[in-house]
Structure 1
Amino acid sequence: MRTWVPGSAMAASIEITATTVQRGDVIQIGGQPCRVADLFHLPGGAKRLRFESGELLTLHARSRLIALRMQRVGDHRRGFSPTRHRR
């Protein structure tokens, strides 16, 4: 796995499914952190995940896992929209 030092990033543990998994998510499998390098769509809503180590994992449509996702501070997808919470 590449060494990566977050500058202005926050780590969040999130529940992922085949629909929400993203490249860069870190999933712990057998005590080893595995970073998702690529995703392949499969029939029935499943996805095949390829990790940076070259290993593969099939995430079925109903599977749920916990992953670590790095988000930049101030990322617009995180938190509340500023227009909804102005005083």
Structure 2
Amino acid sequence: MSAWTSTGPLVSHVEITATTVQRGDVIQLRGRACRVRDLVQPRRGAKQLVFESGELLAIHARTRFAAVRTWRGR
């Protein structure tokens, strides 16, 4: 019997905030999956998320979202 090996990235469900959000996180908004392309910090504690679609979302320091994060092996 051969050992199973993963050939793709690992996916994890995480709760994100303005502090923990990362590029590449996928957030579901109104039924659409939106991948974070860039982050801008306009003022203390808040962040503006730039999605791959070009849309923007500003989140407050206390905002919480469920997201999917991809972990790539090295």
Q: TM-score normalized by structure 2?
A: 0.85
Q: RMSD between aligned alpha carbons?
A: 1.3
Q: Mind listing any 5+ residue stretches in structure 2 that lack a counterpart?
A: 1-6
- Secondary structure, aligned partner of 1:12: strand
* Separation (CA, whole Å) in 2 of partners of 1:33 and 1:16: 15
Partner of 2:45: 45
| Aligned pairs (5 A) from 1:48-63 | 48-63=48-63
Match of 2:4 in 1: none
SS of alignment partner, residue 44 of structure 2? helix
- Amino acid corresponding to residue 43 of structure 1 in structure 2: R
Greater relative contact order (Cα < 8 A, sep 6+) = 2
Structure 1: state its 5+ residue gaps.
1-6, 76-87
What CA distance in whole angstroms lies between the structure 1 residues aligned with 2:42 and 2:48? 7
Partner of 1:69: 69
Task: Determine the C-alpha separation between the residues in 2 that align with 1:45 and 1:16.
Answer: 14
**TM-score, L = length of structure 1:** 0.73
Moved over 6 A (4+): none
1:59 CA drift (Å): 1.1
Length, aligned pairs only: 68
- Aligned-residue offset at 1:72: 2.2
Between 24-33 and 39-48, report the one with greater CA deviation.
39-48
- SS of the aligned residue for 2:62 comes to coil
